[in-house]
């Protein structure tokens, strides 16, 4: 009977975290793209809501797609068992998988936690926002050290990640030619 009480208590503690926890991938770009700086580093993070503060990212997978451009130099940051930064093919990263060993309890616990980095380049400097999107996720798992259990957030409590790369064109030639005229106008008024 004593064991039954312990099991009920553990299930009760895990239930609120499961009901309120949602997960996603967060995508960030290191800089704006312009002719002097045609490359940016895209970072992909796992993030989740955790009212208890006790849940740890265990494993997740994704493909990463950019609206255009080319990915290169995949770097796996969270490199647990079976982790892979995936394969680059133009504007697509396929087969990204990241995991970490939960026991013994990793300290410190990061939320969000950095999973991988990719370089992205373009030769098209038309002003635009290039969309980033994760797709083909089939698992996003958190670990609960209190109950020694795992919580699968995909698909019901999971939202695909999205982000933007900003591309800024080079100044137009007419702007460069107009600068001396602006300077002359200011001198006359002074």
Closest by Cα among 41, 42, 55 to 105: 55
pLDDT at residue 190, as a whole number:
54
Peptide bond into 154 cis (omega under 30): no
More confident residue, 116 or 105: 116
What string of DSSP letters covers the chain?
-HHHHHHHHHHHHHHHHHHH--EEEEEEESS-BBTTB-EEEEEEEEEE--TTS-EEEEEEEEEEEESSSEEEEEEESSB-TT-B--EEETTEEEEEEEE---SSPPSS--SSEEEEEEEEE-S---SEEEEEEEE----EEEEETTTTEEEE-TTTTEE--EEEEEE-PPPPHHHHHHHHHHHHHHHHH-
Number of domains in the chain: 1
Domain boundaries, position 127: 2-189
pLDDT, one tens digit per residue, over 110-155 is 999 999 999 999 999 999 999 999 999 999 999 987 788 899 999 9
Any idea what the CATH number is for the domain that residue 6 is in?
Answer: 2.60.40.680
pLDDT, one tens digit per residue, over 36-81 is 999 999 999 999 998 878 899 999 999 999 999 999 999 999 999 9
């Amino acid at each position: 009977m004593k064991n039954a009480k312990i099991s009920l208590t553990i299930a009760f503690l895990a239930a609120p975290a499961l009901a309120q926890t949602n997960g996603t991938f967060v995508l960030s770009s290191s800089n704006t793209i312009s002719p002097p700086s045609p490359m940016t580093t895209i970072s992909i993070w796992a993030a989740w809501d955790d009212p208890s503060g006790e849940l740890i990212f265990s494993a997740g997978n994704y493909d990463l797609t950019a609206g255009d451009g080319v990915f290169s130099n995949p770097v796996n940051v969270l490199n647990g068992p079976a982790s892979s930064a995936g394969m680059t093919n133009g504007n697509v990263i396929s087969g990204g998988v990241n995991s970490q060993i939960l026991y013994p309890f990793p300290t410190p616990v990061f939320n969000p936690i950095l999973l991988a980095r990719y370089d992205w380049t373009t030769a098209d400097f038309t002003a635009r926002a290039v969309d980033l999107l994760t797709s083909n996720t089939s698992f996003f798992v958190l670990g609960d050290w209190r109950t020694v259990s795992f919580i699968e957030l995909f698909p019901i409590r999971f939202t695909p990640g999205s982000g933007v790369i900003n591309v800024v064109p080079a100044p137009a030639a007419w702007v460069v030619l107009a600068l001396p005229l602006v300077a002359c106008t200011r001198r006359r008024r002074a």
